[in-house]
Structures are given as structure tokens and as C-alpha cells.
Amino acid sequence: MSGTLDIIRQIFSRINLFCAVLGAALLFFIAAIICFEVVGRALGGSSRLWVIETSEYALLFITFLGAPYLLEKNMHVVLDLLYNSFTGRRKIFVQLFNAAIGFVACAVLTIVGFQVVVEQFDVGVREVTVMRPYSWWITSALPIGAALMTVQFLDQIIRSFQGEDL
């Protein structure tokens, strides 16, 4: 079982890394288009309406693509003063409790997010903005990121039951 679990962990680790790199590329893209927009306006050019809107959508994807990687590497926000005050079984219990709450919350977000994306796809809902993208394109960031975080919290639950310190 441990060998299979390790293979599954490696697969999801690669998926998380890919998503994080994609999020970093989106961040670079946002920085580049905003720089070009600022320079273009400074040189007397007109404003490009799509720049701000595209940046807003990309920020949503950056958040949900990067979060599973950060969770996997334990680089997310933690109350270290409180967490480090626990030792032994209490620390494992706190890890398990935290992972269980995160698992349930992310599982609910994944399920509801998927339902919303499917409904938006079926109805063909569009955003009421200049670009008018399909809403499901934007909303799809939530169930993708939440599903990957659900897997990471499940892994933390398994590791806590095995007595591993995260």
C-alpha cells in the first residue's frame, strides 16, 4: 500500500508543480501586460480595456493554481506560535483536526464549484464586461484548485494517522 501511496503522491506533486508554474507564468504575463499598458499610455497611446479585466481573471487562477502546491510544501499560512507549542500526540491531533476541516471545506467547494461550472456551461452564461467571456471559464478555477487541495488535505490526514509530523 505504501508504494502505491508514494506513486499517487508523486503524481499529484507533479500536477501541483505544473499548476504552480502555470500560476507563476500568469503572474509574469500580468506584470508584462501592465508594464506595456503603462508605457503605451505614457507615450500617448490609448488605454486597452482588456488589460485590467484579463489581470483580474488571471489573479483568480494564480490563487487557485498556486494554493495546492503551497499546501503540499507546507508553505501556507500557519499560526506557528500556537502550532509549535504543541508536542507529541497533541500536535498530531491538531494536524489531524486542521486537515479534516480543510478536507471537508475543500471537498464542498469542489463539489459546489463543479456544479456551478456545469450549470454555467449548460446555460451559456457570459460575464457582463467588455470582453464578455463565458463565466465557466473563470469559475473553473475554483473546483480545479479546491480539488487539488482536497487531495492534499487527504494526504495530510493519512500522514497524521501514520504519526508523521507535517
Q: Is residue 166 part of a domain?
A: no
Number of domains in the chain: 1
What type of residue sits at position 93?
Answer: F
Residue range of the domain that includes 109: 2-161
Q: Beta-carbon neighbour count of residue 17 at 10 Å?
A: 14
Banded model confidence at residue 80, pLDDT cuts 50, 70, 90 = low
Instruction: Give the per-residue pLDDT at 18.
Output: 97
13-70 pLDDT, tens digit per residue, is: 999 999 999 999 999 999 999 999 999 999 988 888 899 999 999 999 999 999 999 9
The DSSP output letter for 48 is -
Closest CA to 112 of 134, 133, 137, 139: 139
Q: Is residue 133 part of a domain?
A: yes
Instruction: Give the per-residue pLDDT at 1.
Output: 58
Q: Is residue 154 part of a domain?
A: yes
Q: Is residue 51 part of a domain?
A: yes
